[in-house]
């Protein structure tokens, strides 16, 4: 389930890519299959990183000698990289969890090369606002969302740090009703039959990716897309 459209980044052989807050590696698993790039994943959750490592080892077409991925345990607030280390940095569904997100953006700016690409995705304002209204516990749990971003405000904040936004789109419209259903019965959420049924549909959609559903989601994304995705280029 990709949030980022990598075709927009014009990735070239030899590029170094960082997935910041990589989770279980949905974007890394797409990128590492290209032997011409080096992919790094950083996350604070060790169990998620073990899943990334295991999957990359199992499906790598190049073996250990051609290893082109590295996962690191760490926090976004303190990046363990030198300045100008990466050609592309992805921060997908991360900033809404972080108190000092502006500090994280400054660290990202230092780690990204001039002319490099930064992709940020966060929950879209109004679908997320409905989740908060349906269930306060949705965002009060440990590790939950601590803020709701307005895409226009976030775009301006990043541009003030020396970036130029060149693309904005929405993603995962089919997931929005799923989260609304969960928030309607947060105490039971995954045990409530409408949530269980919708989850089965989402799994089927992700695994099969039928063309009619891609067409439908494409139509719905501008209306109820769960995430907003912003693409920036660092001004040289």
Cα separation values, 192 from 176, 204, 221, Å:
17, 19, 26
The pLDDT of residue 120:
98
Q: Which residues of the chain have pLDDT under 70?
A: 35, 62-65
For the chain, list the strands marked E by DSSP.
16-20, 38-43, 69-73, 86-92, 112-123, 163-171, 227-234
Q: Comparing C-alpha atoms, which of 61, 60, 115, 55 is closest to residue 89? A: 115
**Strand order across the beta sheet in which 227-234 lies:** 69-73, 38-43, 16-20, 86-92, 112-123, 227-234, 163-171
- Domains defined along the chain, listed by start: 6-234 (3.40.50.150)
The pLDDT of residue 67:
85
What is the β-pairing status of strands 86-92 and 38-43? unpaired
Q: Comparing C-alpha atoms, which of 66, 92, 136, 99 is closest to residue 226? A: 92
């Amino acid at each position: 389930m990709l949030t980022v459209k990598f075709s927009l980044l014009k990735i070239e052989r030899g590029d170094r890519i960082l997935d910041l807050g990589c989770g279980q590696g949905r974007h890394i698993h797409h990128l590492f299959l290209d032997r011409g790039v080096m992919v790094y994943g950083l996350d604070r959750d060790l169990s998620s990183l073990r899943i990334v490592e295991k999957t990359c080892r199992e499906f790598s077409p190049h073996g250990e000698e051609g290893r082109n991925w590295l996962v690191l345990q760490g926090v976004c607030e303190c990046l363990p990289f030198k300045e100008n280390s990466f050609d592309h940095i992805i921060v997908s569904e991360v900033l809404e969890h972080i108190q000092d997100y502006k500090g994280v953006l400054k660290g990202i700016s230092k780690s990204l090369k001039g002319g490099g690409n930064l992709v940020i995705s966060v929950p879209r304002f109004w679908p997320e606002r409905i989740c908060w209204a349906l269930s306060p516990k949705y965002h009060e749990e440990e590790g939950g969302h601590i803020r709701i971003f307005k895409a226009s405000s976030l775009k301006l904040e990043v541009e003030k740090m020396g970036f130029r936004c060149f693309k904005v789109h929405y993603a995962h419209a089919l997931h929005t009703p799923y989260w609304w259903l969960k928030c309607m019965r947060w105490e039971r959420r995954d045990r409530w039959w409408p949530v269980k049924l919708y989850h089965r549909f989402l799994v089927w959609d992700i695994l099969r990716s039928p063309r009619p559903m891609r067409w439908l989601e494409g139509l719905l994304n501008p209306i109820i897309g769960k995430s907003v995705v912003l693409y920036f280029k660092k001004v040289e």
